[in-house]
């Protein structure tokens, strides 16, 4: 994929974050900051609150305490692909591309980079687990946001697709983007900081 234009300087920071779900305080006192070109790997056992933290960073979940500040647009990949299951993949991606003002040529390029360019005529509901994950990644990347929040991006991917995601994330950071990945799987992200959410369990 041709590099996108270098991203404007961006950053995301969270200060003193506490997260409560139901009547449980999951974690407290968690702070982080990632600048342009930086990567962060959020780890922790199942149920520690990685996805909850990602939703807090994305502005989709209000923290119980603390603040998130962000300069720059953000795109979230999580377990919901946000692609219309009844549409062929190309049309489902096209919907978001129009919303985000993405040129058709750029969408094609991103589809190629995510290895879904051969699947554009296939209804989203027929895609395999790994194909759906790559399609959701294409939707996320095509948005053109400097800040990527990738929640378990490797789930369901084969070895070559894992390498593909690692390469895309590395190149995004080289272009001045930010990549925050929540995953209990190892992921090769050169220079990435690591934060174990379990260290902040309340
Ligand atoms: N809407 C909700 N209401 C109440 N509890 C919730 C809600 N959503 C999640 N939880 C609980 O919050 C805890 C943390 O969930 P979360 O998905 O953030 O963890 P995680 O670290 O991402 O886990 P995994 O590694 O399994 O994906 C879990 O115990 C979960 O059951």
- What ipTM does the predicted assembly reach? 0.95
- Quote the CA–CA distance of 28 and 93 in Å, as a whole number: 37
Place of tokens 């974050």: 17
Q: Per residue in 15-69, pLDDT tens?
A: 999 999 999 999 999 999 999 999 999 999 999 999 999 999 999 999 999 999 9
Residue 102 pLDDT > 80: yes
Q: Per residue in 140-196, pLDDT tens?
A: 999 999 999 999 999 999 999 999 999 999 999 999 999 999 998 899 999 999 999
Ligand 1 nearest-atom number relative to CA 52: 18
pLDDT of res. 4: 54
User: How does DSSP classify residue 185?
Assistant: S
Ligand 1 neighbourhood includes 47 CB (under 6 angstroms): yes
Percent of the chain with pLDDT over 90: 91
**Ligand 1 centre from 53 Cα, in Å?**
10
Helix (H, G, I), strand (E, B) or coil at 75: strand
pLDDT band per the 50, 70, 90 thresholds, residue 6: confident
- Which residue, 84, 87, 106, 86, is CA-closest to 97? 106
- Token pair listed for 99: 């919303």
- Which residue, 6, 14, 11, is CA-closest to 197? 14
pLDDT band per the 50, 70, 90 thresholds, residue 75: very high
Ligand 1 nearest-atom number relative to CA 22: 4
pTM: 0.94
Ligand 1 neighbourhood includes 134 CB (under 6 angstroms): no
Region at 113 (left for phi over 0; alpha for psi -120 to 50; beta for the rest): alpha
Residue 3 pLDDT > 80: no
- Quote the CA–CA distance of 136 and 37 in Å, as a whole number: 22
């Amino acid at each position: 994929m041709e590099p996108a234009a270098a991203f404007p300087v961006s950053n995301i920071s969270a200060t003193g974050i506490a997260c409560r779900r139901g009547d449980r305080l999951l974690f407290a006192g968690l702070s982080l900051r990632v600048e342009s070109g930086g990567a962060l790997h959020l780890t922790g056992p199942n149920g520690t609150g990685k996805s909850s933290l990602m939703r807090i960073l994305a502005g989709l979940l209000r923290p119980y305490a603390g603040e998130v500040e962000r300069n720059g647009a953000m795109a979230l990949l999580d377990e919901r692909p946000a692609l219309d299951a009844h549409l062929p993949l190309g049309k489902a991606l096209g919907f978001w591309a129009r919303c985000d003002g993405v040129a058709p040529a750029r969408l094609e390029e991103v589809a190629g980079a995510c290895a879904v360019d051969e699947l554009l005529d296939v209804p989203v509901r027929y895609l395999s687990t790994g194909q759906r994950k790559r399609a959701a990644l294409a939707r996320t990347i095509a948005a053109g946001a400097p800040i990527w929040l990738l929640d378990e991006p490797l789930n369901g991917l084969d070895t070559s697709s894992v390498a593909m995601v690692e390469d895309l994330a590395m190149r995004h950071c080289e272009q001045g983007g930010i990549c925050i990945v929540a995953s209990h799987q190892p992921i090769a992200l050169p220079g990435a900081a690591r934060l174990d959410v379990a260290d902040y369990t309340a």
